[in-house]
């Protein structure tokens, strides 16, 4: 079955330190990969995506993500965390092949807490 895993419910990091939010997926073929951020009482906002090409993709607010095909992972990273980065982060995968090509699969979300 197609699935996306975010193994950490919560990640705590001090402001100024690097952060990583992990995502692994089990979706056949070469799916499209996304990260979204959700602030309290708001909708999900698109951060970045991997379609093809360079394994390191850059997105909004200084975030980047590293695609690793062999490990089927797409970890979100930022070199220096800000308190304002505190939010809920979702990894998503879009199946672009076969019967399920229009479906998105979401991880369960990781709450990022950045402490001053």
Partner 1 sequence: NAGVTQTPKFRVLKTGQSMTLLCAQDMNHEYMYWYRQDPGMGLRLIHYSVGEGTTAKGEVPDGYNVSRLKKQNFLLGLESAAPSQTSVYFCASSYSVRGGENTGELFFGEGSRLTVL
Interface residues with partner 1 (CB under 8 A)? 32, 34, 36, 41-46, 49, 51, 90, 92, 94, 96, 101-104, 106-109
Nearer to partner 1, 78 or 110 (CB): 110
| Closest-CA residue to 114 (of 45, 59, 37, 50) | 37
CB of 63 to partner 1, least distance (A): 14
CB of 16 to partner 1, least distance (A): 29
CB of 67 to partner 1, least distance (A): 14
- How far CA 78 is from CA of 17, 31, 34, 81, in Å, comes to 9, 23, 15, 6
Please answer whether residues 31 and 84 qualify as being in contact, where contact means their C-beta atoms are separated by less than 8 angstroms. Answer: no
Nearer to partner 1, 72 or 106 (CB): 106
Nearer to partner 1, 49 or 75 (CB): 49
Return the SS3 of 85. Answer: helix
Q: Helices marked H in the chain — which ranges?
A: none
């Amino acid at each position: 079955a197609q699935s996306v895993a975010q193994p950490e419910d919560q990640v705590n990091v001090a402001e100024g330190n690097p952060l990583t939010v992990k995502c692994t997926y089990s979706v056949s073929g070469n799916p499209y990969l996304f990260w979204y951020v959700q602030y309290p009482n708001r909708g999900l906002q698109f951060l970045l995506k991997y379609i093809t090409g360079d394994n390191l993709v850059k997105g909004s607010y200084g975030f980047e993500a590293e695609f690793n095909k062999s490990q089927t992972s797409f970890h979100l990273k930022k070199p220096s965390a800000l308190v304002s980065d505190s939010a809920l982060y979702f990894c998503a995968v879009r199946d672009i092949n076969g019967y399920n090509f229009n479906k998105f699969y979401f991880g369960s979300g990781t709450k990022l807490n950045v402490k001053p």
